Structure 1
Amino acid sequence: MELARLTERVLWVRGPANVGVILLDNSKVALIDSGCDQQFAKKLFELLSDYRFKVSHILNTHAHADHIGGNSFFQEKCGCKIMASTLEAPTIRQPLIQCAVLFSGAPIGDLMNRFIMANPSQVEVVTANEIKLDELRIEILDLPGHSVNQKGFLVDGVAFLADTLFPDNFFSKQRLPFNYDPNSHTQTLERLRKIEANCFIGGHFQPQNSIGSLIASNLSHLNESLDFMRGLLKTPMPQDRVVKAFLDHYGLKKTNWEYYLYRTMVNGYLSSLHKHGEIKYRVLDNLPVWYAA
């Protein structure tokens, strides 16, 4: 693990989910996300301590466990203030919400694991379009789609884009990124084109000077998934069979708790097309059946 400099005020640490480090006054730093888990956070804390840095703030992009896994560790060690958006903050305070949403009820034990459920932490809600930390202006970017109220941060010419974009090698390995709302995600991808920055970095891609090709690639994969769903539902299909057909199409064999994660994602595709009037559903003999409008 190492600190890499992007600008005079901004550094980053590579990880399963990358972490931004913003230099403030008097050796204080603000983190953009806190790492995937407590073990990563401990190593990051030791690294920052070697530089005599103290974490005063954590700016969370969204409430997924791989981005907030170090929150409670840093809050206990440093007493830092954690900040997040209106709809992400409740899950950071009460991570059980994430499990309940995925299971659509009181969650099974398998879902209550470190990949889904981080330790709870206290968080302050931020509703403004920018914040100032020691007179350093940080613009807040609205990036919903991957998560319900995901945010990014633009500071000192560096745009932290959370989980809006995934590199090509991700699609070759995992095939399909999680999206809570593909419709919102499509709009977010288009808005990314308008962000002016000298450097762009995501939760799962390294710093780049330009993201045009990444946006095009991610839009292409997203549209292919929507097109597949449209074609699939030309024949009416029960919802559980829709989930299976969608996962089969991408060669995804999910077992145990992962199934519920991906079922939620497939439901997001159904919701997006339903919102646009492209598909409908009826409940027949206690089974929801989806079909093209």
Structure 2
Amino acid sequence: MPDLLALAPNVFLFPAAVNSLVFVQGSGVLVVDTGLDEQHARKLLRGLEAQHLTPTAILNTHSHADHHGGNAAFLKRFPDLPIYAPPFEAAIIANPLLEPFYLYGAHPPQALQTKFLLAPASPAQAVESGLVTLGGVDVELIEVPGHASQMYAVRVGEVLYAADALFGLEALSKHPLTFCVDSAAMKRSAQSLLSQGLPSLGGVRLTVPGHGQSTEELPALVAANLSAFERVTRAVHEAVTHASTVDTALTRVCDSLDVEMTNPGAVVLNRSVVSAHLAELVGLGHVSMRVEGNQLLFTGQL
């Protein structure tokens, strides 16, 4: 079982498939993202106990199941523990069926109601971005939409938790179709995090992605993510050189990027990625959209 790793004074990392952060200020202990499920949460709780820390609040950076699936386990131990999230995301965390619902486009079949897409409901409260105090801990919440409709990166002193605005290099390689609901916003958000490292703003020494290892090389991590995002945009553009539906484009993109989908969840997630990049390309005027033969068709512009 991994321990809580000290990143800076009063800042701890619980490294896992989904990273969790713990910020301490006096008697305040803010847990940021509780992981996919009860197993992750139990290990995180044991890590807190080993450090003699009692959580005073939870912040979910966004509503994807792998970042709030552990809330229920925390609430079993601490029923009155407040949970915070961006306003739009808080609505989904409180009504988690909305995640597989919006991915599928209708009430999802059971095959899409797995823990990877449907976490237990949590009574999340909306919190606005900026300098806030949660559970007695002062943090800066930075808007980084794109991967999710609303998402916050979290900064305390010289540590920046980027959530899923940035991915570690291994995650980018393993999952070339980086999930997003707005690819244009995702690129802007990644670029915007560079300003968090400017000396004039106090500087960020250490950046922790939602998935992957922490790094002191924020510009390099941003560059790697932007390159990966643009690679997907190019693949989507090339996939609609000839008129194509979203599903045909998805097949072509997966072939181009050597992605193999083996379950319904992967299909609906990756279909959303392709749709997001198509929307960006349509907005730029690089792809046209029309209805023909009872099909919604996309065609790349030369």
How high is the TM-score relative to the length of structure 2? 0.92
Counterpart of 1:36?
36
Residues 56 and 245 (structure 1), Cα distance of their counterparts in 2 relative to 1, 3 Å cut: same
CA contact (8 A) 1:95 1:119 kept: yes
Counterpart of 2:115?
114
Residues 290 and 11 (structure 1), Cα distance of their counterparts in 2 relative to 1, 3 Å cut: same
The separation in 1 between residues aligned to 2:177 and 2:238, in whole angstroms, is 18
Amino acid at match of 2:170: N
- 3-state DSSP class of the match of 1:87? helix
Displaced runs of 4 or more, over 6 A = none
- Note if 1:232 corresponds to 2:239: yes
Once structures 1 and 2 are overlaid, which stretch shifts more, 93-102 or 213-222? 213-222
The separation in 2 between residues aligned to 1:172 and 1:42, in whole angstroms, is 29
1:61-94 deviations in Å (ceiling 9; x for gaps): 1111111111121123112111000111111001
- Note if 1:161 corresponds to 2:162: yes
Counterpart of 2:147?
146
The separation in 1 between residues aligned to 2:142 and 2:295, in whole angstroms, is 40
Counterpart of 1:254?
261
The separation in 2 between residues aligned to 1:191 and 1:180, in whole angstroms, is 18
Counterpart of 2:76?
76
The separation in 2 between residues aligned to 1:285 and 1:247, in whole angstroms, is 25
- Note if 1:272 corresponds to 2:280: yes
1:168-224 deviations in Å (ceiling 9; x for gaps): 222333322212211001111110110131211111122222211111111112112
CA contact (8 A) 1:25 1:134 kept: no
Aligned identity (percent) is 27
CA contact (8 A) 2:30 2:137 kept: no
- 3-state DSSP class of the match of 2:167? coil
The separation in 1 between residues aligned to 2:3 and 2:191, in whole angstroms, is 33
How high is the TM-score relative to the length of structure 1? 0.95
RMSD across aligned positions (CA): 1.6
Counterpart of 2:299?
291
CA contact (8 A) 1:10 1:156 kept: no
Counterpart of 1:59?
59
Residues 22 and 234 (structure 1), Cα distance of their counterparts in 2 relative to 1, 3 Å cut: same
Q: CA deviation at 1:134?
A: 6.7
- Note if 1:49 corresponds to 2:57: no
Counterpart of 2:222?
215
1:133-167 deviations in Å (ceiling 9; x for gaps): 47643111111111110111111321110012222
What are the equivalent positions in structure 2 for 1:128-143 lying under 5 Å apart?
A: 128-133=129-134, 136-143=137-144
What are the equivalent positions in structure 2 for 1:90-109 lying under 5 Å apart?
A: 90-109=91-110
CA contact (8 A) 1:29 1:54 kept: yes
Q: CA deviation at 1:19?
A: 0.5
The separation in 2 between residues aligned to 1:152 and 1:77, in whole angstroms, is 27
CA contact (8 A) 1:24 1:133 kept: no
- 3-state DSSP class of the match of 2:75? helix
Counterpart of 1:243?
250
The separation in 2 between residues aligned to 1:179 and 1:57, in whole angstroms, is 27
Q: CA deviation at 1:8?
A: 1.4
The separation in 2 between residues aligned to 1:25 and 1:4, in whole angstroms, is 18
List runs of 5+ in structure 1 lacking aligned partners.
none
1:243-283 deviations in Å (ceiling 9; x for gaps): 11111111112133221111111111111111222212111
Residues 135 and 176 (structure 1), Cα distance of their counterparts in 2 relative to 1, 3 Å cut: same
